[in-house]
Chain A
Amino acid sequence: MLLREVEYAKPGSVAEALELLAANDGARALAGGQTLINVMKARAASPDMLVDLNGLDDLTGIELAGDGTLTIGAMTTYTELMGSAEAKARPILGEVCATIADVQVRNRGTIGGNVCSNDPTNHLPPLMVSVGARMTIAGADGEREVSAEEFFLGVYLTAVGPGELLTRISIPAGKKDGFAAVTLGADGTCIANAAATVNGSVRVALGCVDAVPVIVTAESADGVADAVRAANLEPPSDVHASSEYRTHLAEVLATRAAQEASAR
């Protein structure tokens, strides 16, 4: 398919990428392109300029600090996360990435692209919330850091403003995590999903039920279903699931994710 005419820029640094994004209203950052190129085909997005982030060393790499904190460059692909010895420090990351789409998509798709597109059916927004990730956003005035809860603002909307870029994500040490999803086909788009982390109590982030991940907490996995019910979810209905069914799935998946997290 022929895309609408678009300019293409390949900056040599993050600073140059920020300048290009700030100077062109119609510019959009191009990460792995596994969503953006397709929505451009459908004309659901029609940027005037693509600022290609591939090849920017400052946006790649996975580092493990002495205290167990992982710092992951925004342009890290799912495949890189799955194969990274450092990322094994928080095993859920590679495990969830291995269930996103297929080999080809995992080879190009990036952690930064997944969270910045903030499609409510994406895997990583709830996971980032449950593990307590912090996002570093760069702009003309330097860098700022926001928590995952502050990062996701609405459907396709994040704290990354015009002229800004997500540069890296830091994730604290931890192992007691779980993730559960009901998908369209194996490893397909999520109809509903849930990410859970046990840190004393259980914290679950529910995906696909609202514009941004919904957080519920409980003393233990046994209390998670009640906590989900108490959240009075009103998820959207679509061709794959009614609102009522999605609410049911949220309860079931939250419990499964919490049980997995508790068992580790």
Chain B
Amino acid sequence: MDVTVTVNGTTYERDVEPRKLLIHFLRDDLDLTGSHVGCDTGNCGACSVIVDGVLVKSCMLLAVQANGASIETVEGLAEGDELTPLQLAFNEHHALQCGYCTPGMLMSATALLRENPSPSEDEIAKALQGNICRCTGYWNIVEAVKSVAK
């Protein structure tokens, strides 16, 4: 099936099998390998992207369902080499060790801060509930998000 999507401002047209998950379309067809496959069961959130303004796990959406949509992935956060304040905060607060979960964490935190620029610690924890990290114990991730909250 023909699918047209705009990812981080660039429009792509591809012929896609209906069975292909959005995460594989992004990684394999568009070569946007920033979004990760962690668990493949919808639990870990490493594949989180923003589709038409809505945070989703791209392993639980078919690529064909995103036809016509505007998608944001971790590659779209920085402007060239200039990281966003949230990305810099992750660096500063040691909010990543292996980094595997980081693209999903960044997208979830980005979605949170858009909706609620001044989240409480509880609101940050609740917003990141769908993203699993096996290194940091979460604390530094929460600290990083808190540091850029208004």
Contact = CB atoms under 8 A, between A and B. Distances in A.
Contacts of A107: 54-56
A103 to B, nearest CB: 5
Interface stretch (A34-42, A158-166, A253-261): A34-42
Nearest to A107: B54
A105 interface: yes
Interface residues of B, number: 30
Given A8-B18, A34-B42, A105 B65 contact: no
Interface of B: 1, 17-21, 24, 40-42, 45, 48, 54-57, 59-62, 64-65, 108, 111-112, 126-127, 129-131
A205 to B, nearest CB: 26
A6 B55 CA distance: 25
B40 A41 contact: yes
B21 A103 contact: no
B60 A33 contact: yes
Contact of B42 (A4, A38, A52): A38
A104 B40 contact: no
Given A37-B42, A104-B48, A5 B56 contact: no
A195 B112 CA distance: 30
A8 B16 CA distance: 11
Interface string A41-68: 1000000001010100000000000000
Contacts of B112: 103
B66 to A, nearest CB: 11
B60 A38 contact: yes
Interface in A41-98: 41, 50, 52, 54
Contact of A104 (B55, B64, B65): B55
User: Which of B24, B48, B55, B112 counts the most chain A CB atoms within 10 A?
Assistant: B55
User: Which of A5, A50, A108, A187 counts the most chain B CB atoms within 10 A?
Assistant: A108
A254 B150 CA distance: 42
B99 to A, nearest CB: 20
A101 B65 contact: no
A102 interface: yes
Given A104-B55, A107-B54, A1 B129 contact: no
A15 interface: no
A263 interface: no
